[in-house]
């Protein structure tokens, strides 16, 4: 795995954040397809199969890596943005829905790696390796993509992860934390992660909390999000739980009649 490029960045915005990366000449940042917001003169981009972390990888290895991404619903290709000019230039990235951008220095993470929910990766310094991992624990498989399919980021440079809504960073000290399955953004690789059944069928039907929760155990950092895309879609759906709230006041009901 190549040493990651050293990049500078700024995170802009509050409730809907973007990351602006400044590249020196010949520096590169990799990103998910469609994440680019803008790029200054001198920035050139190429769509490639793979993250470029192993320049000597053969075609079979590239196809295997790309195939695993395609099976999880991710794009087969990644976009590489390189500063081909002779002065510093910036490129900006935004996520597909409102939220917060989390910068992570992989060099400071245990084992130089981080585990991220399958659609949480936004961009990273060139040299970062992305791989898909499948959680083999049976509980994770019962809730499909939330916890069953994860991404691992490895390297010694900066990576940027996107979270929906507000981000909560917690440091566990030989502790257990139970979380709504869609609210886990990322965690350090030494954390034990599973999806477990909790409560009763009655609680699931009438309580609205669901019958499965993500369980994080051990010592290390975890990042949580307050508004995963699933909850955002439910809140905005015309027939969702919030569909009648704006007309539920006394005056609203009077005028509806």
The domain ranges of the chain are 8-241
3-state secondary structure of 233: helix
2 pLDDT more than 70: no
57 pLDDT more than 70: no
**Residue in this structure with the two tokens 């680019």, named with its chain if needed:** 36
Question: If pLDDT is split at 50, 70 and 90, which confidence band does 196 have?
Answer: confident
* Predicted TM-score (pTM) of this structure: 0.79
Q: Which fold has domain 8-241?
A: Double-stranded beta-helix (3.60.160)
Question: If pLDDT is split at 50, 70 and 90, which confidence band does 248 have?
Answer: very low
Please give the structure tokens belonging to residue 36. Answer: 């680019």
Q: What is the DSSP string of 191-231?
A: SEEEEEE-S-HHHHHHHSS-SEEEEEEEEEEEEEESS-HHH
How far is residue 100 from each of residues 43, 187, 214, 224, measured CA to CA in Å?
25, 16, 21, 11
> How far apart are the C-alpha atoms of 44 and 27, rounded to whole Å?
11
39 pLDDT more than 90: yes
């Amino acid at each position: 795995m190549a040493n990651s490029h050293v990049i500078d960045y700024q995170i802009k915005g509050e409730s809907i954040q973007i990351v602006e990366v400044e590249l020196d000449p010949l520096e590169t940042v990799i990103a998910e397809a469609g994440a680019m917001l803008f790029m200054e003169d001198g920035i050139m981009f190429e769509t490639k199969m793979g993250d470029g972390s192993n320049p000597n990888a053969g075609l079979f290895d590239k196809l295997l890596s790309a195939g695993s991404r395609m099976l999880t619903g991710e794009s087969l290709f990644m976009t590489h943005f390189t500063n081909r000019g002779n002065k510093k230039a910036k490129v900006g990235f935004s996520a597909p829905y409102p939220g917060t951008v989390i910068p992570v220095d992989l060099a400071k993470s245990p084992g130089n790696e981080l585990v991220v929910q399958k659609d949480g990766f936004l961009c990273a310094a060139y040299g970062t390796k992305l791989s898909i991992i499948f959680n083999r624990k049976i509980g994770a498989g019962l809730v499909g993509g939330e916890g069953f399919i994860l991404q691992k980021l490895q390297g010694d440079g900066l990576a940027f992860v996107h979270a929906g809504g507000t981000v909560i960073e917690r440091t566990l000290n030989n502790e257990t934390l139970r979380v709504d399955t869609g609210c886990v953004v990322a965690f350090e690789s030494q954390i034990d992660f599973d999806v477990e059944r909790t409560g009763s069928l009655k609680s699931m039907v009438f309580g609205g909390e669901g019958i499965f929760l993500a369980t994080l155990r051990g010592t290390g950092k975890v990042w949580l999000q307050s508004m995963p895309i699933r909850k955002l879609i439910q809140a905005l759906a015309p027939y969702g739980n919030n569909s009648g709230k704006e007309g539920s006041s006394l005056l609203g009901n009077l005028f509806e009649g």
